[in-house]
Structure 1
């Protein structure tokens, strides 16, 4: 019985930690990997990082997509000072290195398998109180004129 109580106490304390996470802290956990974790093989990066960062978890459906930005959090915070677009989102002034993870196949139940793409894109953000709280998407830089 004592083992069960200890197990429940650990589960409840882990849940309490997740509840106490601010929107900015959740954004950092789910989207910022700087410097980029390099010891992972390219084809396993997404599965490992999404599990390590508690974005995917047993018993929950697989997240269809997630993007990791390989730039300092301060550069994303600085983007919150940019003029918002018509939808209220702000974009980074320069492209950033990122890994875009997309769920493979149609199965949304774990184990989750992802396809990873390395990109240099601008990051589109929703900000709250001067901090990024949602990654709304990315976009390629405009083509360079010859």
Structure 2
């Protein structure tokens, strides 16, 4: 229940302009969609979510790629307790459901068109103060 309240508070803050959001709050806004928003047409998921979460916006260039994780934020926080790799990133111990959004075509100005791929992979994050602040990538299960 507390996770739901946090999620709703973050969504409301994002819609209100999210002035002064922390790096962790920005990470959640840009990368966590749990449970996955299912009311969207599959082929429009990326465009809609990136606009709704203010990752893309009129007057700003299109983001080349973005990944949404369909797992509770607590599971990404738990990744920060894992031993970091040589680059200093922490990986989730289990694979998670993801939607990987990649910009289609060469145009980097809105309207942005994305290709969505559904994946089930481990997530690599950078952590500060025990919280994820950057999604560094994903990798397939061993």
Q: Gaps (5+ residues) in structure 2?
A: 1-13
* DSSP-derived class of the 1:37 partner: coil
Q: Which residue of 2 aligns with 1:75?
A: 75
Return closer, same or farther for 1:17/1:40 CA change in 2, 3 Å cut-off.
closer
CA distance in 1 between partners of 2:57 and 2:116 (Å): 19
Q: Which runs of 4+ in 1 moved over 2 A?
A: 16-19
Q: Which residue of 2 aligns with 1:136?
A: 136
* DSSP-derived class of the 1:45 partner: helix
Superposition RMSD in Å? 1.3
Q: Which residue of 1 aligns with 2:109?
A: 109
Report the Cα offset of residue 24 of structure 1: 0.1
CA distance in 2 between partners of 1:18 and 1:88 (Å): 28
TM-score computed with the length of structure 2 as normaliser? 0.88
Structure having the higher Rg: 1
CA distance in 1 between partners of 2:20 and 2:40 (Å): 30
* DSSP-derived class of the 2:137 partner: strand
Return closer, same or farther for 1:17/1:41 CA change in 2, 3 Å cut-off.
closer
TM-score computed with the length of structure 1 as normaliser? 0.85
Q: Which residue of 2 aligns with 1:120?
A: 120
Give CA deviations for 1:26-75 in whole Å, capped at 9, x if unaligned. Answer: 00000000000000111100000000000000000000000000000000
Q: Which residue of 2 aligns with 1:5?
A: none
Q: Gaps (5+ residues) in structure 1?
A: 1-13
* DSSP-derived class of the 1:62 partner: coil
Report the Cα offset of residue 17 of structure 1: 4.8
Q: Which residue of 1 aligns with 2:93?
A: 93
